[in-house]
A and B are shown apart, each in its own frame.
Chain A
């Protein structure tokens, strides 16, 4: 209480400090893009490419959307603790418009990804009944709406926050808060329907009303984990020394909350379907427990919930960057596995196929590499912390 906390000056990220990382990322993205392009061009590989690409796209989409969610919650609740790490979240969320570039191949490949696309009216009564929602023009219009909403929210939240760095007006804090109230509702609706459109409609016969929440739970938890990793990485480079173990503690608590929430929603969805035992519903889980998919599903449950849960439960471990980063890395990886199990069994119906591996890796590199490069480039354009946020001082001397 007695010692004074130094107010951070504007810290500008210097790309030179990361050494050869941009070069490495460029090479990796090039490899990823070339392999993906081969998959897209060769007709026999196109189905595999489409599924791998959808998986990779949605993975990065959830990470970006989750970061956007945390900024929205930060402003809506007038939070103090997250001021010091907010700019990192803003930089991740600002990638959302670019992430949406990656949806173009998904839309181009939609006829081979989504079976309802090619079914003529009158063939399947079910698809006729769903036709008002599942039809090509409306599908594309919805994609455009998601793009608009996510882009508007991410860029506006960042623009006003960066503007405050120069003029220091508390007015921005208030207008940001006003924006987030409708923003949260728009976010929830768009993420839910994006999850329904791009993932759930892979099997148009299957429905789950919990689907949107399930995807949201994974997105929020994994993007908080990503934030922990990014902040630790920046600290290793010598930036953000003002982030203390108290901030780590809060981030760990939120990781714990969403680790449990994901398990809660995932299990609720599973149990209701398992207990009711209706063929149209159980097909989802039967498909994901055939052959080797069963092992991957088990690994997901174990490493997404049972392993991180007791670690995150312990207060001292949440304050140790080594532990919290290991768990964060695990959760970010498990988010990829989660989406993989959602997408890939639709193509490889008998079990995991090694033929998918090169295209999965390529798609992850082809989307993740450029995004990482853009993130590094965007990071240096403004201070790493909102230097003139009115709540900054409270955030600096945070105690739990």
Chain B
């Protein structure tokens, strides 16, 4: 740690022994009104989203937009050429709007494709990925998060954050190795 030059404070981190301790601590941090904070554990903990006070994910909104644009894109892509630009009678089918059933598979596929793409890319944007570096990696103990460490981190940009008071608060929750993490 001594090698780290003095930089901006990123967050205060605390370590917990078990998933249950982390869960109860998360509930208390949520009730204390913190907004910019996160928990890290080696495995998913059921009910943690509720314990952290997280609402429904917003991911469905971009997916809906992606899906509908895929649908309309396919409609334009199929109907404009076959009814306006090149109205050729194929298989005795009409060259009007009523030829739509033939293009349903294309509309369906493009809806699915666009939805899938927006899901993947919106997810990456929402989780700020890809990124090569995260300030928490400056904290040596944090490497235990892939093994047996349970961490709770309150970021410095949280309006309620104060170095001394938040430290006391985390220690009061039973957090060990409460450490100031620099950027």
Contacts and interface: CB of A to CB of B under 8 A. Distances in A.
Interface of A: 1, 267, 270-271, 274-275, 277, 315, 399
Nearest to B64: A313
A-B complex: 9 closest residue pairs judged by Cβ atoms: A1-B47, A271-B101, A274-B101, A275-B102, A267-B104, A277-B92, A271-B104, A277-B91, A275-B91
B23 interface: yes
Interface string B45-71: 011001100001000100000000000
B101 A315 contact: no
A315 B102 CA distance: 32
A227 to B, nearest CB: 25
A267 B105 CA distance: 10
22 contacts: A1-B23, A1-B47, A1-B50, A1-B51, A267-B101, A267-B104, A270-B101, A271-B101, A271-B102, A271-B104, A271-B105, A274-B101, A275-B91, A275-B93, A275-B101, A275-B102, A277-B91, A277-B92, A315-B56, A315-B60, A399-B46, A399-B47
Contacts of B101: 267, 270-271, 274-275
A271 to B, nearest CB: 5
Contacts of B93: 275
A243 to B, nearest CB: 20
A312 to B, nearest CB: 14
Contacts of A399: 46-47
Contacts of A267: 101, 104
Contacts of B23: 1
Contacts of B91: 275, 277
Nearest to A315: B56
A275 B93 CA distance: 8
A1 B60 CA distance: 26
Contacts of B56: 315
A87 B51 CA distance: 33
Nearest to B51: A1
B18 to A, nearest CB: 14
Nearest to A399: B47
Nearest to A316: B56
A399 B47 CA distance: 8
B179 to A, nearest CB: 28
B45 to A, nearest CB: 10
A378 to B, nearest CB: 38
Nearest to B20: A1
Candidate in A1, A267, A274, A277 with the most chain B CB atoms within 10 angstroms: A1
B75 to A, nearest CB: 15
B23 to A, nearest CB: 7
B91 to A, nearest CB: 7
A7 to B, nearest CB: 20
A270 B105 CA distance: 13
Contacts of B102: 271, 275
Nearest to B108: A264
A271 B93 CA distance: 12
Contacts of B50: 1
A346 B104 CA distance: 29
Interface in B90-133: 91-93, 101-102, 104-105
Interface in B16-59: 23, 46-47, 50-51, 56
A99 B47 CA distance: 44
Contacts of B60: 315
Contacts of B104: 267, 271
